[in-house]
Chain A
């Protein structure tokens, strides 16, 4: 007998494999998968460790630039470029994390926000990023030198595979002893300390992992869209990922994925029709989620489901 999570996982894979054949626009789907991975990485930190980072844009943005530049200027193959971006985000995560975990709660949020904003200005002024114009014309190249990623479907399955790998990694992490320690930190930090855990080390490790996976999402996104831009490094992106996670369901396995699809879908549908109302709507969703809907879509659904049984 399969558990609910396993059913969910099978459904996710089936949906992911079939979606581009059901008339859903593949580029839109790829964006969704990238941001879903980003949100899952973020959820690892907020949902399972209780740390609210308001600066995750730094990692998705930085990895995008590094991946884009290494593919474009050094001629790396896409998989190596993505690895380079991911590694850079991990290192960055270590630096930011070491600073930020010195404070907790609200301070942690503000520090990550400020550090990310600092990096934003750095990208703005660096030559290789193209500043406002962005780093454009990144070639998609051939995966492992064989599979041509210029083909939309090839690219789609490559992106989907990356998402699944990242998603499974997060899932494994949460359910490992390491993940249990993280949860204990979220629930009661002093207790975890008194039990002899080096809490700071665990927090830092979670931060680095989350940053690297966010970087993986950012680097992949660059290959899909063939460009890296300041948008991803802007604090709006940090806010968006919080919204996706919150709306989908904090600390649930599938919540961030659902949240990412809803938010990206909404933005995609509304952007042309209602102009700045999109931002108002996003803000309103935030307010509603915080006031009345704190479990998020998946969380509420699960509560409903368990009550019925």
Chain B
């Protein structure tokens, strides 16, 4: 059937697989947004900048840190970065939450959006000033170089790893929030913070940690992205708008929803690239418009 359209099944499968890889980034980022939104009721516009920060810190760790510390041989390798960088990005997030976001909870949520937008501009501008915008390259770690021959395509090992790693993190997050006691506090805190506070749970701390965690997810995605995409100050800005659309499509109500929507839209984008590549940049937005017409609350959202 596809042959009739001049498309081989090989081409189709390989594009779908590539779509899935992009989808895993959408899933990781929209998951972070959803977690933050659930607890803080703000949309974190800094998310893209924090993703970029993750990639940059990984690059700095690999290539710059040693010389800075005076021992050129030292470097933070990819695997260490995968742990350390999200912690750093998360820590910075906690600082932002404690010093700035915290003061806005009583106000209209739009101020949270504006504040995080401003912070995003600052972070992006700083990195552009320090490193220019031509981009830095980050080498794929030794173990994951090369490709697996799947018959219909060569799948680079690193891309396969991206899918595995991001899905693992996504579902672990889902499990913690939906299936553990800690998660139940979180969900209760989302529904009724005062009541939870009355049970002796430190809700402000929980909010802080949630923001830190959501942001750490963005940092994690950044480290994952560093070897694939050129590390540059503007890498997060364009991606985050697509992720916003993903979030609108999925509806913010559900953790699982944001993961599934992210992956699905990656696949849809992949399909578009096979059949009508010119539309691949807009397809997510078109879907968003359709969803809004049919189901304004989003696919997984609940109408309040």
Contacts and interface: CB of A to CB of B under 8 A. Distances in A.
Interface of A: 52, 54, 99, 102-103, 105-107, 109-111, 113-115, 117-118, 121-122, 124-125, 235, 239, 242, 246, 275-287, 289-291, 294
A99 B292 contact: yes
B122 A125 contact: no
Contacts of B126: 276, 280
Given A107-B248, A110-B247, A283-B124, 12 more contacts: A54-B113, A99-B289, A103-B248, A109-B43, A114-B245, A118-B285, A275-B129, A277-B129, A279-B128, A282-B125, A286-B114, A290-B118
Contacts of A102: 292-293, 296
Contacts of B109: 105-106
Contact of A287 (B42, B119, B281, B288): B119
Interface residues of B, number: 42
Interface in B94-141: 100, 103-104, 107-111, 113-115, 117-126, 128-129
A282 B278 CA distance: 34
Interface in B263-304: 278, 281-282, 284-286, 288-289, 292-293, 296
Contacts of B100: 287, 291
B117 A286 contact: yes
A115 B114 contact: no
- Chain B interface SS verdict (over half): helix
A109 B113 CA distance: 9
Contacts, number: 119
Contacts of B121: 239, 279-280, 282-283, 286
Contact of B248 (A111, A121, A276): A111
Most B Cβ at <10 Å: residue of A242, A290, A294: A290
B122 A284 contact: yes
A124 to B, nearest CB: 8
8 contacts: A52-B110, A99-B292, A114-B248, A118-B285, A118-B286, A276-B125, A282-B125, A287-B100
A120 B293 CA distance: 21
Contact of B282 (A118, A239, A291, A294): A118
B244 interface: yes
Given A99-B292, A122-B282, A279 B124 contact: yes
A54 B241 CA distance: 11
Given A283-B122, A286-B118, A287-B100, A103 B113 contact: no
Interface of B: 42-43, 100, 103-104, 107-111, 113-115, 117-126, 128-129, 241-242, 244-245, 247-248, 278, 281-282, 284-286, 288-289, 292-293, 296
B128 A290 contact: no
Contacts of B285: 114-115, 117-118
Contacts of B289: 99, 115, 118
Contact of B125 (A114, A246, A279): A279
A109 B42 CA distance: 12
A118 to B, nearest CB: 4
Contacts of A286: 114-115, 117-118, 121
Contacts of B128: 276, 279
A235 B241 CA distance: 9
Contacts of B120: 283
Given A103-B292, A280-B125, A113 B115 contact: no
A106 B43 contact: yes
A290 B111 contact: yes
Contacts of A285: 118
A122 B286 CA distance: 12
Contacts of A239: 117, 121
Nearest to B41: A106
B278 A125 contact: yes
A281 B126 CA distance: 10
Given A99-B289, A105-B110, A283-B125, A121 B118 contact: no
Contacts of B43: 106, 109-110
List the 4 closest pairs (A to B, CB-CB), nearest first: A286-B118, A283-B121, A279-B125, A118-B285
B296 to A, nearest CB: 4
A289 B126 CA distance: 20
B32 to A, nearest CB: 15
Contacts of B119: 283, 287
A280 B129 contact: yes
